[in-house]
């Protein structure tokens, strides 16, 4: 997040990003997570987009993946996290009608 505590994304960029998301996405993520995801999605030019954010209070790290869906993507992601020795505490999987996935994993540090 920028030092002033505000995200620097224009309204048009936000609307363009959110047009793919259904209510489930907004119900399953916090406002802070939505802002974090939106800023990155609105400013990325190429997929896949992978974000990491530490949560020291929980002793965990959030991993966000935004990309085109494909067969066995969730299995590949969880296998990779396992191979890295990361324990998955939570997984939120959203697939849009346009075939985009928004996968959020919370892994223990």
Convert the pLDDT of each residue in 84-96 to its tens digit.
999 999 999 999 8
Strands 60-68, 87-95: pairing is unpaired
Q: Where are the domains of the chain?
A: 11-108
pLDDT of residue 9: 64
Instruction: Read off the pTM.
Output: 0.82
For 80, half-sphere exposure in the C-beta direction (CA atoms, 13 angstrom radius) is 9
Interacting residues of 67 by C-beta distance below 8 A, sequence separation 6+ = 47, 48, 49, 73, 100, 101
Convert the pLDDT of each residue in 30-54 to its tens digit.
999 999 998 898 888 899 999 999 9
Is domain 11-108 classified as CATH 3.40.50? no
pLDDT confidence band for 22 (50 / 70 / 90):
confident
Convert the pLDDT of each residue in 51-104 to its tens digit.
999 988 889 999 999 999 999 999 999 999 999 999 999 999 999 889 999 999
Minimal CA–CA distance to 102: which of 75, 61, 67, 62?
67
């Amino acid at each position: 997040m920028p030092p002033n505590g505000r995200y620097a994304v224009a309204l048009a960029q936000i609307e363009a990003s959110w047009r793919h998301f259904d209510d489930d996405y907004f119900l399953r993520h916090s406002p802070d997570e939505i802002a974090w995801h939106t800023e990155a999605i609105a400013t990325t030019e190429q997929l896949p987009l992978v974000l990491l954010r530490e949560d020291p209070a929980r002793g965990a790290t959030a991993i966000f993946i935004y990309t085109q869906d494909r067969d066995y993507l969730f299995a590949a992601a969880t296998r990779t996290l396992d191979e890295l020795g990361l324990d998955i505490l939570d997984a939120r999987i959203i697939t849009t009608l346009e075939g985009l996935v928004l996968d959020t994993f919370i892994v223990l540090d």
